[in-house]
Chain A
Amino acid sequence: MSSEEKTLTARDLRVEFGLPGGRVARAVDGVDLDVAPGEIVALAGESGCGKTTLARTLLGLERATGGTVAFDGVPLRYSTRALKAYRRQVQLVLQDPTGALNPRHTVYDAVAEGLRIHKIHDDEPGRVAEALSRAGLRPPEQFFLAYPHELSGGQRQRVVIAGALVLQPSLLVADEPVASLDASVRGEILSLLLRLKEEQGLGALVITHDLGLAWSIADRIAIMYLGRIVEQGPVEQVLTAPRHPYTRALVSVLPAAPAVKAAVAEPIVLAGELPDASKIPGGCRFRPRCQEVASGNAAAVLHQCSGEDLHVLGPEAEPHLVACHLDRALHGDAKMAA
């Protein structure tokens, strides 16, 4: 099976929510993204920028108001049966494993739930045991009858992952899989995702606001700002030589290795907060907080920053794509170069 197949694709994906007073929150506002089996893509950005909404839309838990989600080249349909079939292929791992497990269900029941939903009855205990051991809970039988409250946070997250793996999906969408876990346990779960990718060719979209996580496990990274991907490319390039002003700011406030320190000299602490998704500025959506505009570096392209919308970045893995007028002026049109 080539890696072109079984790819999850989003094209110009848009999700809007109606708010009281007739306003509209554009939570996801034009996103192109590909996730293929055997690769880990990180999606990073501030709280409220639309990461969870994007993930839920990719899983069909939320309906897109524009654009398409497709899997294996087939656009996602929302009939009960089509969704059910789709969800054998693409699975969700939630942020908080404690909340994601029903406190009244044993580990066995939690992992077998997917099998029961999909009416897979042959060798249920065997499949559950296998999924648990793939998720690193060994020997699996020992965990069958444990209740979630008897497990540690890391073990609970493994149970959630096992519950996803039992259906043998080709892709996982993990929304902040380690954010609620202790520092010492994070590593285990991330290693597990990495091992699943390397040994079993599983693909994953890992949503995070922690760039260090991307550095630890992701092949590619997409930086999201206010519903749009503003920079995307291979992790090494995006994180060690960030080009979009927003990415540069994000990277600059982290403790970084000397090589990166050279590329991003001073910590750039952006003032203010992410604007409301119902008040997305025209032109470049980052302009009100952009440090290049504030410092005057962007003076030459300022009219574009405030007046000219940027196109939606393509889903290509290579090269490194940036949605910024200043960057385009400096590096030439990324699209043309490509």
Chain B
Amino acid sequence: MLLEFKDLRVTYRGSRGRLPAVRGVDLAVDAGETLGIAGESGCGKSTLAMAVLRLLPKSAEVSGEILLDGEDLLQMGWGRLRAVRWTGASIVFQGAMHSLNAVQRIGRQIAEPILVHEAKTTPAAAARRAEALLERVGLPASRARSYPHELSGGQRQRVMIAMALACDPDLVIADEATTALDVMVQAQVLQLIAELVTERGVGLMMISHDLSVLSAVCDRAAVMYAGRIVEQGPAGEVFANARHPYSAALSAAFPVIGDPAARMSPGGLAGDPPDPVRLPEGCSFRPRCAVAVERCGAESPELLAVPVRGSAGVADAARVSACFVAQEGMPVVL
């Protein structure tokens, strides 16, 4: 396994007391594989992403293990960690517009990590690598001399991807990397990401609130709710045939065009995500759940293999869901 989370927990200490943002996550990403993580804002997706490179603020308490190639990132010394950032794993953040340095040419910004992490590289060689990377992400090499404000949103997002790839990392984490983009530009960037995964064999962890995007790009998808994974399985399956009421609601929020059931009936979910400081008893999704049963108020469901449609009640090891109703093989939508 390239990346493995084992019972990861992150708690922020703040003015409102202890805020559990990630509450026990087990996940794995293999080389050449794309894992999608979906969930609405505040469910802990970015916290999970930042924990990998230990980018969390000091106020965050982290426990559990994050293994990158078998090595625990949380126990690593700073020197080793610096080497791992960029060369081992790198992140493309949401809102690239704000993460680029406004007064530096983008060529230099791409070359910088190369110079820092590969002592033998000369500045000229790094600049050439930067140009090659720009071409790889579909921008002319001459763009290396541009400043960020001269580029469109989609182009800047490509620059961010080029930067993330600069040191040939084994793992790339894309946190809402396409959220702010238009359909067509998003399609361009997604296509690029997919090509890079097959071509370089990197592992990709892609975070988005749009399950339909993940279903198009990822092999597997995990759905997060209130700091926990509530469902995991093959991405297309999770999107088309959810086994958790929350994933079903997320899928319905992005209707499939041409699907008569979705026509003139916008899907969605009533209510707000729970306040992490005051989580409800039992299943944390219960206050918004339309199919809740009595048990849901008392016990918190574990992530277990669930039967899928057509499997005659036989649990499929590839599909796990933290929902009592799904675990019994019953439908999760009314």
Contacts and interface: CB of A to CB of B under 8 A. Distances in A.
The answer on A and B forming one complex is yes
B56 interface: no
Interface in B211-240: 211-212, 215-216, 239
Nearest to B213: A255
Q: Which one of B186, B249, B255, B257 has the highest number of Cβ atoms from chain A below 10 Å of its Cβ?
A: B257
B257 A254 contact: yes
A175 to B, nearest CB: 15
A184 B184 contact: no
Interface in A205-257: 209-213, 215-217, 235-236, 239-240, 249-251, 253-257
Interface residues of B, number: 42
A191 interface: yes
Contacts, number: 123
Interface stretch (B20-28, B126-134, B262-270, B318-326): B262-270
A152 interface: yes
A34 interface: no
B268 A185 contact: yes
A125 to B, nearest CB: 26
A212 B257 contact: yes
B153 interface: yes
Nearest to B209: A183
Interface in A51-78: none
A32 B262 CA distance: 29
Nearest to A184: B269
Nearest to A263: B258
Interface residues of A, number: 43
A259 interface: yes
A183 B266 contact: no
B135 interface: no
A182 B253 CA distance: 9
A309 interface: no
Contact of B258 (A182, A183, A187, A259): A259
Given A182-B40, A215-B257, A255-B212, A187 B267 contact: yes
Interface in B248-288: 249-250, 252-259, 262-270, 272-273
A190 B183 CA distance: 20
A273 B182 CA distance: 10
A3 interface: no
Contacts of A183: 40, 209-211, 250, 253-254, 268
B187 A253 contact: yes
7 contacts: A185-B269, A187-B253, A191-B268, A215-B263, A254-B183, A270-B184, A271-B188
Interface of A: 46-47, 152, 154, 182-188, 190-191, 194, 209-213, 215-217, 235-236, 239-240, 249-251, 253-261, 267, 269-271, 273
